[in-house]
Structures are given as structure tokens and as C-alpha cells.
Amino acid sequence: MSGTGDVLLELLEGNHSHVEELPDDYFADVQTGQQPNVVSICCSDSRVPQERMWGVDHPGAVFTPSNIGNQVWDEDEGEQIVDGGVLYPIHHAGTDVAAVVGHTGCGAVTAAYQVATGGENPGPQGVDKWVEMLVPVVEEALESDLVDTEADEETVINQLVEYNVDHQAAFLRESEDVPDDVDVYGFVYDFQGVYGNEHGRAYLVNHNGETKPEEIADRIPDEYETATQSLLY
């Protein structure tokens, strides 16, 4: 690609192919509303395919808010609140499952780690806001006994990714704005072979607050036992 014109052409061509491939009744069941099964809050990294990772090929199944570092919160007048993109389907579309999805090698977590260890914000301000909201999470993680701060930076970053997923999931579970009957799961999407040799596996690292893999394995079918791993426990 040599310029923005080429990118625009790819977008137009791609959408044309999308339209041509859709069955006539593709949107029939969602013409007048949506009732997604899950709200999946992902990092906005382009390497994380938000619907495809779940094998979803139909509209209306997954509500997909995303931001830098898969953060479930935002700030309003100095108060930390649950992000509206997470709350909307829960309160207005009948969704009763939330999934927090981090990913290996996360740039946002890396940036927050660098700030927490004496580096500077990456800039510009719109990016810094989200990095700065992650810094306290990273600082807490580094002070805990869960992250091996003596390990190489890649290992530390991936441990921090998982810690952040757990932290975000806990924030949802503790919020008064999220009903108690909403299930909250935490995943790390691994496209680098960090957790195992299956690239693209979303490893279940948090099941309604449970973080130990052996305990999580007891809650899911035996065939998915290897889909729960941890770098922290």
C-alpha cells in the first residue's frame, strides 16, 4: 500500500466483498434490536479479532467495546466508573455475561510498565490518559508477590497482562452498576505462544473471581481443561 487512497480502495473493495458474501437473511433476526450473549471488552490491538476469536459469524452475538489495555473503566469528574460500552448491553440489551480479554505482548501494559518504572508517557494526551489509568494497576502488581520482577521484561509484561485482566474483572464484579447475576470471565488471547503452542487460544484465567487454573478446570468441561493456564498461579 502506497497511500491513503490505496487504503480507502481496500476498504471499499472489502466491504463490497462482505456485502456479496452475506446471505439474504443475515440480519433478519436483529433488524429491530439486539440481545448479545456476551459483552467482550478487548484491547483495541489490531491483532485481536474480537468476534472471530469466538468463532462468531453472525451479527448480534457479541457486544464489542474496546480500548487501549482492555480497561473496563473510565473517569468522570475524578470518579472511576464502569465504562458505558460495558454497561450498555448489560442494562439495555439483556446481556448477562462479561468477558475481559487481554492479550500477550500488550503495548498498553508495556507503556504503563515503563511509566511505572521511571519512563515517560508515550503521548499524545489521548493515549496518555489510558496509559495513566493502567499505571496504578501495574504498580500494585509489581509490589505483589505474583509478578516475578527479576524475570526478563517480556515475561514481566505478560504476567502484568494477566494481572490486569484479573484486576479489571474484579472491578466489574465489585461495581454496584453490574448486577450480581452477571458472570464475569477473564481471558488472555495468546498469539505468541506464551501460554502454550496453540496460537489464537483465548486462555481462561479468571472465572467469576477464581484464578487458580486447577480450580477453573473443575468448572469447565474436561475437553477444555488445557484452555485454562496462568502465568501468576
Q: Is residue 156 part of a domain?
A: yes
Q: Is residue 164 part of a domain?
A: yes
Q: Is residue 170 part of a domain?
A: yes
Distance, in Å, from the CA atom of 39 to the CA atom of 97, rounded to the nearest integer, reads 6
Q: Is residue 119 part of a domain?
A: yes
The secondary structure of 57-75, three-state, reads CCCCCEECCEECCCCCEEE
42 is in an annotated binding site: no
Number of domains composing the chain: 1
pLDDT, tens only, 51-70: 999 999 999 999 999 999 99
Phi and psi angles of residue 165, each rounded to the nearest 5 degrees, phi first: -60, -45
> Average of pLDDT values for 42-59?
96
Q: Is residue 27 part of a domain?
A: no
Q: Is residue 24 part of a domain?
A: no
16 is in an annotated binding site: no
pLDDT, tens only, 172-212: 999 999 999 999 999 999 999 999 999 999 999 999 999 99
- With contact defined as beta carbons under 8 Å apart, do 67 and 86 qualify? no
- With contact defined as beta carbons under 8 Å apart, do 200 and 191 qualify? yes
The predicted model scores a pTM of 0.96
DSSP 3-state percent helix, strand, coil across the chain (nearest 5): 40, 20, 40
Helix (H) or strand (E) holding 87: helix 84-92
pLDDT, tens only, 75-85: 999 999 999 99
* C-beta atoms surrounding 88 within 10 Å: 14
Q: Which pLDDT value is given to residue 3?
A: 66
Phi and psi angles of residue 42, each rounded to the nearest 5 degrees, phi first: -110, 165
Q: Is residue 130 part of a domain?
A: yes
The CATH number for 202's domain is 3.40.1050.10
Q: Is residue 88 part of a domain?
A: yes
* C-beta atoms surrounding 46 within 10 Å: 6
Lookup: cell for 183:
458472570
Q: Which pLDDT value is given to residue 81?
A: 98
Lookup: cell for 29:
433476526
Going by pLDDT thresholds of 50, 70 and 90, the confidence category of residue 1 is: very low
Lookup: cell for 130:
489510558
Q: Which pLDDT value is given to residue 91?
A: 98
Q: Which pLDDT value is given to residue 5?
A: 87
Range of the domain at 133: 33-227
In Å, how far are 120, 140, 214 from 132, measured between CA atoms? 11, 13, 34
